[in-house]
Amino acid sequence: MGGALQEAARFHKKGWVIQAENVYRQILNTEPTHDQALYGLGHVLGTKGDHRQAAECFGALAAMSPQSVNAWLCLGIAQQSLNDHSAAIESFGRATDLDPGLTLARYARGRSLLALQRTDEAAQAFTLVLENGSPAPAETALRAKARRQLQQLRTAKPLYILKKPERETPVIQSSVPLGLTNLLKVARPATASRSISSVA
C-alpha cells in the first residue's frame, strides 16, 4: 500500500492528476478509510474543480479525526469554493479552535463572513489576522489582504457583495498560493497507527 501511495504522490507532484486520482481511488477501494489517500484524493479533486467530491473527502477525514487541523481547513476551503459559506465558517472555526495561530483559516473565515454580509464578524476576523506578527512571507501576504479588506469595510465598499464574492485563486490546486505549499504537501511517511495525525 505504501508503494501505491508514493506512486500517487509522485503523479500528483508532477501535475498528472488523472493518474494520481486513479491510484488514490485504487487504494481507497481496498481501504476506504485510508487517511492519506483521502487527503490526496481531496486535493486532486479540488485541482480538477470538483469541489463537491473534494468536500466529501475532507469531510470524511474530519469525521474520522476531529482533532485534525488540516482536515477542517481543507474542508472549509472546499465548502467556500462551493459558495457554501455557512458551512465554511463552521469548518474554519473548528480549525482555529484547534490552532488559534492558523492565520489562513482566520482570513478565509473572514472572507466567508463577508460574503454573507456579516460585516462586523468579518472585521473581527481580519483584525485577528493583523495581530499575527510573523515575518513569514505567507503571513505578510495575508496581513496585507486583511488590511485591504478592513479598509474597504471602513469606506463602506466591501470587496465581496452578496453571496458570490470575487474569488481569489483556489487554495486546493497543484500550485498552492498564500504560502501553503508545505502545509498541503501530499507525500507523507506512513505511520503505524494510520491516524489522521499524519495529515495534520
The pLDDT value given to residue 133: 87
The pLDDT value given to residue 159: 52
Whole-model pTM: value is 0.78
Rounded to whole angstroms, the Cα distance separating 23 from 97 reads 34
Question: What number of residues does the chain have?
Answer: 200
The pLDDT value given to residue 1: 64
Spans of the chain, pLDDT less than 70? 1, 156-200
Domains and CATH numbers, the chain: 2-198 (1.25.40.10)
